[in-house]
Amino acid sequence: MKYTLEITDKQAWVIRDALNFYFRSYLGQLDLWHVLPDLDKRNMMETSFQCAMGCRGYSKGLYSKDVPEEARRACDIHDVIRHQLWKDNPNRGTHTVDSTAPCQRSDYDLPEIKIIEETA
């Protein structure tokens, strides 16, 4: 079964961030949220992550046998959305992680994303 989800660009950013948190939680990379630009959000999340992690500085690779396939699927979806948001940004940088075309990491084909309507 396939679904089409029509979302706004603001909703795409929320989904991207949620998927980023989801797959990084499986990798043990919750302490990487210190890079969030919003200081209040960063402080709140950092405190939560420290409690959840119990330890800092430990993470797994995406292909680790201890990482479930769902984490790789979330990473695939995240990367597709992140790359599309980069392509749609007129002020985008050229040498960023976002500029790299997504590659399939999970057991599913990469999802497709397309613009159905441009907004001002």
Task: Please tell me what DSSP assigns to residue 112.
Answer: P
The pLDDT mean for the chain works out to 77
Over the stretch 15-52, which tens digit does the pLDDT of each residue have?
888 888 888 777 777 665 555 555 555 555 565 555 55
Whole-structure pTM value: 0.68
Tally of residues, the chain = 120
118 burial (CB, 10 Å; 0-12 / 13-18 / 19+) is exposed
Per-residue model confidence (pLDDT) at position 118: 78
Burial letters 1-40, b for 16+ CB under 10 A, else e? eeeeeeeeeeebeeebeebbbbbbebbbbbbebeeeeeee
- Domain coordinates in residue numbering, the chain: 18-99
Over the stretch 50-105, which tens digit does the pLDDT of each residue have?
555 555 555 678 888 878 888 888 899 989 998 998 999 999 998 999 999 999 99
Structure tokens given for 79:
């990367």
